[in-house]
Amino acid sequence: MSTPSSLAYVVAEASAKQTVLRDSPWRYFLSAALAGALIAVVLSVSLKLGQVFFAAGSPGYYIPVAGFFGVALASIIFCKVELFTSNVMYFTVGALSGQCRVCNLLRSWCTVYLGNLAGIVVFAVVFAGAGGMGVLPPEHLLFSVVAHKVHAASAEIFWKGVLCNWVICLAVWIPLRIAGDVGRLLMVMFLVFVFFFSGFEHSIANMAFFALALLHGMGGLDAAAVLHNLIPATAGNIVGGGLGVGLVVFLLERHTLQEAR
């Protein structure tokens, strides 16, 4: 029996996600909330690690932050919980293959987006209540990163969002072509490092940045500033993951679906 292609695997996964969404929407939402919490907890540790170098004036302070953050996506992939950015790619491929309805694509994106947000908020509130990062100085790394994100131009945020989810979805897709968990894990970690170190805009990670900043007393951060970043970042993530990876790999590999049938 031949091994299914990576495209056939993604189509099957999208179909399975659609079934869970239809039959058990709260289970689907809870899966997304867990993914959001994983993003937030790993980001908080990454920031604490990076702050050690940032406070010391090291020019390489963002290297450990970007290097450690790959733990988040690796955990999400291996646990098979729902992250918005990769969900965009899965359901785009599912819809293009005819296995997922467009209405369920939109329903999935909304459910996962809100579920990711819920998980981030719950973790951030508990984390802050537990003392979190303590009392942060105005020049803290967290505040520096958030200030850069909310003051960037909308077009810049959008294109960084495109690049971000293009890389993130490749970090999901490429490991499907690699044998062995160690090789898959390394590829995920390396590609996540690429997007994070480059300063690309990941809408869900940005939610965690903003939640942590707000709960740790960052001044001048309001809903308008948050939406200024999240709206173009989310739109860019959809284009990068849906068209940049989902559509492209479907066009490149759709013959494998015909061969499988």
- 174 contact partners, CB below 8 Å, separation of at least 6: 187, 191
What residues contact 151, with CB distance under 8 A and at least 6 apart?
A: none
227-243 pLDDT per residue, tens: 999 999 999 999 999 99
The DSSP symbol for 3 reads P
pLDDT of residue 188: 95
**Ranges in the chain, pLDDT < 70:** 1-4, 259-261
Distance CA 180, CA 184 (A): 6
> What domains, with CATH codes, occur in the chain?
6-260 (1.20.1080.10)
